Amino acid sequence: MSVLDAFAVPGRVAVVTGGNRGLGRAFATALAEAGATVAILARDEAASARAVAELTATGVRAAAFTADVTDRAAVARAAEHITADLGPVDILVNNAGACIHRPALDVTEQEWHHVLDVNLNGVWNGCQVFGADMVARGSGAIVNVGSMSGQIVNRPQWQPAYNASKAAVHHLTKSLAAEWAPLGVRVNAVAPGYVRTDMSPIDRPEFAGRWIGDTPQQRAAEPEEIAPAVLFLASPASSFMTGAVLVIDGGYTVF
């Protein structure tokens, strides 16, 4: 196998949660370009249909499935449909996420539970549901989307629920990696810094000074700059790698 071939995933079935926009859409596109059949798992059916139409227009095989990642039963039903329609899942990218900017004393109980439910329980549901079949088959790669916020405290905005949830994702990644490595399943995570998406107010003056100004590269990332790292962790190129949290932050966390 040549070094470039090690990054290819032909014949693999890949699931990307929240894969119909932003980072998830970039991840789905990268996996499809590398040869995978892609299943987009998200709540917004219209957005998923648009993403699938764009992917299939390039000649790749892709399909959309609907589920809320916080609903384990819904994820399990979707997994059954994906396996029946596309085949056993080889790659899972747990990307769906939520964030609320609010000082700790102002965070409501509902907001706290919502962020933890999507960011942590959603990852757990995906890992447990899809991981069960991977373990049974003795192969598979899971890539969880954490954040540099799992190891630093962002500023100027306060986001305690998000930071806590991403730190938990990082440690869950390590825990599952240790348990499942002897069973043939690798579990890694990416930890992006600030990325330009519809959900990130990168250019608002109250944020740009810190978000961009404190980043050594003096800019935010584009989603397509994070996608190659996800492909790396999902592909044979990272075959001797599990339990890692790969930080991609333009140097933000070096300070």
Per the document, the length of the chain is 255
Residue 98: DSSP 8-state: -
Whether residue 194 lies in the annotated active site: no
- Both ends of the chain: CA-CA distance in Å? 39
Q: 162, 194, 211, 252: which is the annotated catalytic residue?
A: 162
Q: Is 123 exposed, middle or buried (0-12, 13-18, 19+ CB in 10 A)?
A: buried
Residue 38 and residue 28 in contact, taking contact as beta carbons nearer than 8 Å: yes
* H/E stretch holding 164: helix 160-180
My answer on whether omega of the bond before 103 falls inside 30° of 0, hence cis, is no
CA 244/CA 233 separation, integer angstroms: 9
Q: Strand 62-66's sheet: what is its strand order?
A: 62-66, 37-42, 13-17, 91-94, 140-145, 185-192, 245-248
Radius of gyration of the chain from Cα atoms? 17
Residues marked as catalytic: 162
